[in-house]
């Protein structure tokens, strides 16, 4: 699989990442093993997780698979800290102490001495400079190689990146991770311009519109799908309204004309959008993952990408600028 540089750092990752949100809950240990094997055999190397996923069980599962399925040094492990679900309640704590405790827990569960990319999971109430000092310390101690932020809006991303650049010795922000797909293009307003200007990598989560862009909900809600589950239905429902249906139908028509699946068309649109480093795939089984991996040598025709821009929210200024720059 082709690799891409993460912003202006020396870190390189495969241009499709593997997300692990469902591992240990909706994805069994055996399914996770199969997913990791399939992904690594295709040349993938970016494994994204978080201390909060499965209340730590996801990282434990990854730790059991590392060294067995794939050597630790062959995988880029990205994890996150500062967010948790406790007693059914969302808890955000981005204080220095809480972040460092999260990191120690992640290292213990993953069975590794370091993570390749350690990220603030969300913006918190602690002073930003305090949160960022935890990132600096983690790198200084060799417990993280690169650092990033997740779910920051544009001004928050710019503020964090600028603070880290203000004095020598601070660790630059390498990446930002937010939702981005044909059904969620808000990142184009501020986040993507910020990352392009500041030389930061960009990892879109939910590039398939929380599964809706695969077309599986066109006629009904399949049993076993996220929308049919008690704990994920709230996550999918916002994208089942009328505007989303028009986008899904456009993706399906493009797929028919190109001999691809809707999943593949939606993924290609994200993967090759200006500023994107690597979309994070949230497949729950290797059967769901394989069609995504099969697009390695594919790309959308320019006119199809532009048509999807138009139907999903309007022309993409960065795409036009990119075409002008490349002649």
Q: Which tokens is 299 given?
A: 């790309």
Fold for 3-212+275-297, please state it: TIM Barrel (3.20.20)
Separation in Å, CA 128 to CA 73, 85, 137, 164: 32, 22, 14, 11
pLDDT top residue among 228 and 189: 189
Stretch 198-213: mean pLDDT: 96
Please tell me the distance from the alpha carbon of residue 110 to that of residue 60, in angstroms, as a whole number.
6
| pLDDT tens digits, 104-123 | 999 999 999 999 999 999 99
pLDDT at residue 226 is higher than 90? no
- Helix 302-312 crosses helix 317-326 at what angle (to 10 degrees)? 160
| pLDDT tens digits, 122-165 | 999 999 999 999 999 999 999 999 999 999 999 999 999 999 99
| pLDDT tens digits, 70-100 | 999 999 999 999 998 777 778 999 999 999 9
At 33 the pLDDT is: 97
Please tell me the distance from the alpha carbon of residue 16 to that of residue 1, in angstroms, as a whole number.
8
Residue 248 CA, chain-centre distance (Å), reads 21
pLDDT at residue 282 is higher than 70? yes
At 321 the pLDDT is: 78
* List of residues 6+ apart from 16 with CB closer than 8 A: 1, 44, 46, 267, 271, 278, 279, 281, 292, 293
**pLDDT confidence tier of residue 299, bands split at 50, 70 and 90:** very high
Residue ranges of domains in the chain: 3-212+275-297
At 198 the pLDDT is: 96
The region that residue 78 occupies, defined by phi over 0 for left and psi between -120 and 50 for alpha, beta otherwise, is beta
| pLDDT tens digits, 23-55 | 998 899 999 999 999 999 999 999 999 999 999
* List of residues 6+ apart from 286 with CB closer than 8 A: 31, 34, 35, 37, 38
Q: Which residues are catalytic?
A: 53
**pLDDT confidence tier of residue 263, bands split at 50, 70 and 90:** very high
Adjacent-strand bridge partners of 81: 120
The rounded mean pLDDT for the chain is 93
Q: Report the percent of the chain where pLDDT is more than 90.
A: 85
pLDDT at residue 231 is higher than 70? no
pTM of the model: 0.94
């Amino acid at each position: 699989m082709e690799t891409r540089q993460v912003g202006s750092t020396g870190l390189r990752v495969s241009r499709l990442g593997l997300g692990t949100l469902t591992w240990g809950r909706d994805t069994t240990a055996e399914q996770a093993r199969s997913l990791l094997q399939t992904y690594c055999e295709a040349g993938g190397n970016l494994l994204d997780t978080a201390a909060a996923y499965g209340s730590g069980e996801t990282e434990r599962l990854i730790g059991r698979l590392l060294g067995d399925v794939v050597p630790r040094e062959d995988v880029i492990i990205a994890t996150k800290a500062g967010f948790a679900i406790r007693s059914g309640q969302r808890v955000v704590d981005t204080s220095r102490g809480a972040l460092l405790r999260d990191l120690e827990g992640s290292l213990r569960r993953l069975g590794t001495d370091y993570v390749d990319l350690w990220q603030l999971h969300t913006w918190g109430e602690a002073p930003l400079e305090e949160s960022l000092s935890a990132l600096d310390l983690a790198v200084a101690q060799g417990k993280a190689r690169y650092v990033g932020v997740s779910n920051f809006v544009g001004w928050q991303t710019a503020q964090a990146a600028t603070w880290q650049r203000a004095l020598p010795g601070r660790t630059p922000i390498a990446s930002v991770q937010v939702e981005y797909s044909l059904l969620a293009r808000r990142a184009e307003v501020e986040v993507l311009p910020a990352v392009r200007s500041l030389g930061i990598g960009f990892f879109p989560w939910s590039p398939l519109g929380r599964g809706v862009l695969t077309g599986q909900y066109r006629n009904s809600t399949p049993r076993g799908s996220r929308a049919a589950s008690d704990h994920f239905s709230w996550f999918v429902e916002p994208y089942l309204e009328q505007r989303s249906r028009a986008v899904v139908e456009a993706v399906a028509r493009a797929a028919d004309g190109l001999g691809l699946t809707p999943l593949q068309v939606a993924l290609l649109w994200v993967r090759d959008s200006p500023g994107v480093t690597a979309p994070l795939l949230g497949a729950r089984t290797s059967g769901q993952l394989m069609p995504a991996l099969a697009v390695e040598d594919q790309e959308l025709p320019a006119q199809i990408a532009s048509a999807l821009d138009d139907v999903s929210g309007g022309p993409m200024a960065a795409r036009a600028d990119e075409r002008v720059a490349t002649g």
